[in-house]
A and B are shown apart, each in its own frame.
Chain A
Amino acid sequence: MKAWPRELSVGLALAALLGALAVFAPGFFAGPPLLSLAAREAPVLLVACGAAMVIVCRQIDISSGSQFAVVSVAAGLLAAEGWPPAAVAAAALVLGTTLGALNGLLVAGLGLPSIVVTLATMVTWREGLRWWRQGAFVNLPDGLQWLGLDQTAGQWTLIAAALGLFTLLAIASRHLAAGRHLYAVGSDAEAARLAGIRPAAVTFGAFTLAGALTALAALMNVIQSPQVDPKSGTGLELKAIAAVVVGGVAIAGGRGRLAGVLLGLLLLATVAPALTHLRIEAHWEKAIQGAIILLAVAAERARGRPA
């Protein structure tokens, strides 16, 4: 007997959670708050996509949370300096891409293990930021929030942008040669080399793209409020990686789909608000979250263990 695909078991867990909400706390499905929550998770989706790409090619990036904070603060400061939004966005993207490329260079160019490299860049960026800013918030100029749109339109724009980008990436990962190269390198780097693919270039590309996506995510977060907290993004890498692995991407590379990542993120992002809606006290929250993750992945074995 074959085990269930992970997407199915995660989908079932999500459906069960939504079902419980529909029965016990239908207020969860009220439009505007749900829209707000979705908009708050939109950036996380992009970071998770980046993390998925990196993991598919058998690497890991735990520095994305710190990159997120650095880009957020930098963008905030530039905006506060009076740079126009487009320039701020461009600068933030360049910065994020550079940070990602730096990881890529150390991993692919020097051949250092990615867990070590990104651990190092994670603490370096985070502590550097703390040293530099001493925790001060950045106040943004008026008019940057929602990029001047009204709030609902702004939120829809963010969600649409994130989903659009997600769809593009999902399609690219299946229908673009570069996307398939990620899988090839993650599956067997030596076989990829012999097939004329350059594993180092692909790995570098994955980290760089992840950096760019993180920068975009940071921008999408910055425009949702008029202040930047330099602590933002703390723990983001863990959330993204959790969504990726719960969504069925193999940590050993080469396997997994972005659709699963979306499901994984939806599950993880639903749990916390769901518990609030179900009136469960906060001190139970982590235990229940952990149990749900375990149940969701254990479910795929429910139909019988592969021998």
Chain B
Amino acid sequence: MLTPSAMPRPALRHETVLLAVVLLEWLCFHALGPRFGTLENSFDLLRHSAEIGLLALAMTPVILTGGIDLSVGSLLGLCAVLYGKLWRDAGLDPGAAAGCTLALGALAGGLNAALIAGLRLPPLIVTLGTYSLFRGLAEAITRGADTFTNFPASFLFLGQERWLGLPSQAWLFAAVAAAVWLLVHRTTFGRACRAHGFAPEGARHAGLPAGRQLAAVYMLSGLIAALAAVIYTARLGQARADAGTGYELLAITAVVLGGTSIFGGRGTVHGTLLGVAALAILNNGLVHARQPREVAGLLTGALLLLALAAGTAPRLGTAWRARRAPHPSPS
């Protein structure tokens, strides 16, 4: 093991390494697949990564507080089903149904919040429970079989068409990304999230409103998951209980690839965005390179290790960090 002082100073920020990886990927696939770089394909890339991207954005502040939200994928499924219910069975118009779905998503996030911030239960267990609960509710509501479809074109516009030259959901995604970036990097809220992630007791002693803080973060996560559900429904033109299965892991992958420490405190929103981009380009590009899906999986694994090894190992070296966790710990 490296002793703290023997480790080199960080040569490059993790985000820089990741940016290089993203560019490299782009060039590589551009060379391999003649149609990879087309505008068409770039737009599709954007559309395909919107939902995972949103979930990853939602997850970033959560992980910064030292928590985790395993329930986002299931909540996406539940919200998709709720949206279908509200529109088809309750007869709301698509806009109103979307509004209600967002509120319900925040409410569901509120359940996580109540258990984590109110009862001070560990986030991992709570969201493991709601991971199952939300998916289960989605299945119970539809009995597993019901599919909502035939949404009006005005709603599908949101997922399938372009607005001002870009896929419509790209605008929403950009707005959420900007909002989360500002929240995390430019407000006292984000600062307090980090403080809590590094040392919950220390943050409490500083008089930070730990409970409210955590509650807000998990409710925000619910809200964004609901938004992702609406976009997902609009993109596929259908809502079903299995929507978003396994997305939580993809979102977490993007976040940790983006350099956020799973133990909290450390991480950036732009890192997360780069992480999302790296994974999305990989998945899309390999189709253009005519490689089977499994290769995407294998390369995801390799990419995770390489990017982190390049970016994290030197950063672990700052002695004060290593002093707290000289054996490996996520950075």
Q: A residues engaging B (CB < 8 A)?
A: 58-59, 106-117, 119-124, 126-128, 130-131, 185, 189-190, 192-193, 198-200, 202-203, 238, 241-242, 245-246, 250-252, 281-291, 293-294, 297-298, 301, 305-306
Is B329 a contact partner of A113 (Cβ separation < 8 A)?
yes
Is A111 a contact partner of B129 (Cβ separation < 8 A)?
no
- CA A114 to CA B329, docked complex, whole Å: 7
Chain B, interface SS category: helix
Write the B120-144 contact mask toward A (1 if CB under 8 angstroms, else 0): 1110111011111111110110111
Q: How many inter-chain residue pairs (CB < 8 Å) link A and B? A: 180
Is A289 a contact partner of B256 (Cβ separation < 8 A)?
no
Q: Looking at the complex, which of B183-191, B232-240, B319-327 is the stretch in contact with chain A?
A: B319-327
Q: Which residues of A contact B326 (CB under 8 A)?
A: 189-190, 193, 199
Is B330 a contact partner of A114 (Cβ separation < 8 A)?
yes
List, sorted by A's number, 22 A–B pairs whose CB atoms are closer than 8 Å: A107-B328, A108-B1, A108-B327, A110-B309, A113-B256, A113-B330, A119-B301, A120-B301, A127-B293, A131-B295, A199-B327, A245-B125, A246-B128, A283-B139, A288-B136, A289-B132, A290-B131, A290-B132, A290-B135, A291-B133, A294-B130, A298-B121
- CA A98 to CA B131, docked complex, whole Å: 32
For A246, give its contact among B125, B131, B134, B324 (CB under 8 Å): B125
B284 interface residue per 8 A CB criterion: no
Q: A286-B135, A287-B136, A290-B129 are in contact. Are A301 and B121 (CB under 8 A)?
A: yes
Is A286 a contact partner of B121 (Cβ separation < 8 A)?
no
Q: Which residues of A contact B2 (CB under 8 A)?
A: 111
Q: A113-B331, A282-B144, A283-B144 are in contact. Are A293 and B125 (CB under 8 A)?
A: yes
- CA A127 to CA B210, docked complex, whole Å: 41
- CA A202 to CA B328, docked complex, whole Å: 11
Q: B residues engaging A (CB < 8 A)?
A: 1-2, 115, 119-122, 124-126, 128-137, 139-140, 142-144, 249, 252-253, 256-257, 261-263, 292-298, 300-302, 304-305, 308-309, 312-313, 316, 323-331
Is A190 a contact partner of B132 (Cβ separation < 8 A)?
no
For A203, give its contact among B119, B131, B328 (CB under 8 Å): B328
Is A119 a contact partner of B253 (Cβ separation < 8 A)?
yes
